[in-house]
Structure 1
Amino acid sequence: MPGRPFIEGATVDLCAVSEDDVDFLRDTVNDPAVWPTIGARTPVTETQEREWYEDHASEDDGNVNFVIAVDGDPVGSVGVHGVDDVNGSAEIGIFVAEDYWGNGYGTEAGRLATDYAFAQHRRHRVVARVFEGNDASARIWETLGFEHEGTHRDEVYVNGEYCDVRYYSVLEDEW
């Protein structure tokens, strides 16, 4: 169960990742409906997820991961990654457990994480990547006003085939 909210939203809260969240995160990234949408290639073990928690749940370099919680229950994760202090950019990544798809949780978490990246980390540009076929993720970024910058053809190899990756971004003065 996620801890106290770090960022409160209307429907979802963003909470610091706790050790209690590790099983939920592992189970979600291993879900056959989820892992192809985030580029996972192999199953994540309990040991690997705990090591990730120890090493990457929150880093001193500005990268941060949150558990998306609804009424105190975890429904997904959102992170601000690839923080570039020289150029003022960062990438946001989201995944939501399949049982919670279609409720707008990813959109609100994306908005809260983008607000956080601009307000707390003085980012100038925030980027999101969407794997081919993940139209729900594309709708999140389009709804939030991110601009589709282009598509990298056959950029990643997932689930036995190469797939395109669409790039979206928003600048601080557009937000």
Structure 2
Amino acid sequence: MVSGDLDRVLAWRNHPDVRRYMYSSHEIAPDEHKRWFEGVQKEQGVSLLIYELDGIPCGFVNISETRWPAIADWGFYLAPDVRSGTGRGLGQAALGHAFGTMKLHKLCGQAIGFNERSIRFHRALGFTLEGTLRDQFFDGEQYHDIVCFGILASEWQNSNS
């Protein structure tokens, strides 16, 4: 991701179909988005990626290393108007980047308990369900579980052999 992608990524992130599955579900203002991007640029171990299909930008991935070596968290979303099945390609490309380029040992993901699509997506990519944090997230009205996933480099490599 480069600064020229900011408007596109912000439009995707603020779309109601994306925003409702985020921890922070308010509509993000352009100046807030720009400050986030500038701050992330200064951090080590963060990859902000634009997923393209046939040269057309259609998704965003954030992979951020944690305080432990070679362990990272990821987040992602697709452009709201992409064709069905695009997410699988985004996921495979992101895992390739995580375990190939970044040389990670483990990639972790989370989904809010009501986000069944994300839960199925993680499982389809080979992530292991590692646990559920009960009533971990309050959306301003009610508490929700957080479902935690992880995939090891060796598991990803075995599934791609």
Fold-level match, TM-score > 0.5?
yes
* Cα distance between partner residues in 1 of 2:42 and 2:54: 26
* Structure 1: runs of 5+ lacking an equivalent: 1-16
* Distance change in 2, residues 1:159/1:85 (3 Å): closer
**Structure 1 equivalent of residue 113 of structure 2:** 132
* Counterpart in the other structure of 1:55: 39
Aligned counterparts of 1:70 and 1:160: Cα–Cα separation in 2: 38
CA distance in 1 between counterparts of 2:104 and 2:67 reads 8
Report the counterpart of residue 26 of structure 1 in structure 2: 10
- Whether the aligned pair in 2 keeps the contact of 1:64 and 1:79 (CA below 8 Å) is yes
Question: 2:56 aligns to what?
Answer: 73
Q: In structure 2, how many angstroms separate the alpha carbons of the residues matched to 1:160 and 1:31?
A: 21
The match for 1:164 is: 145
How much is the aligned-residue C-alpha RMSD, in angstroms?
1.9
Deviations 1:74-97 (A, max 9, x none): 22211101x136442101111112
Q: Which has the higher contact order (CA 8 A, sep 6+)?
A: 1
Which amino acid is 1:92 matched to? W
TM-score, with structure 2 as normaliser: 0.86
Query: Aligned-pair distance for 1:60?
Result: 4.6
Size of the alignment, in residue pairs? Answer: 156
Identity of aligned residues (%): 26
Using the TM superposition, give the Cα deviation of residue 68 of structure 1 relative to its aligned residue in structure 2, in angstroms.
Answer: 1.9
Secondary structure of the corresponding residue to residue 33 of structure 1: helix
Q: Secondary structure at the match of 2:27?
A: coil
- Between Structure 1 and Structure 2, the one with more helix by share is 2
One-letter amino acid of the structure 2 residue matched with residue 114 of structure 1: L
Matched, 1:113 2:94: yes
Question: 2: CA distance between counterparts of 1:103 and 1:121?
Answer: 28
Classify the secondary structure of the residue corresponding to 1:34: helix
**Cα gap change, 1:72 to 1:59, in 2 (>3 Å):** farther
> Match for residue 7 of structure 1?
none
TM-score normalised by the chain length of structure 1: 0.79
How far the C-alpha of 1:161 sits from its partner, in A, is 2.1
Distance in 1 separating the partners of 2:46 and 2:106: 15
Q: How far apart, in 2, do the equivalents of 1:33 and 1:78 lie?
A: 17
Shift of 1:52: 2.0
Q: Distance in 2 between matches of 1:74 and 1:117?
A: 19
In structure 2, give the amino acid aligned to 1:169: G
Q: Identify which of 139, 146, 149 aligns with 2:127.
A: 146
Q: Would you say the 8 A contact 2:72–2:104 is kept in 1?
A: yes
Q: Secondary structure at the match of 2:88?
A: helix
Partner Cα distance (1:120, 1:69) in 2: 17
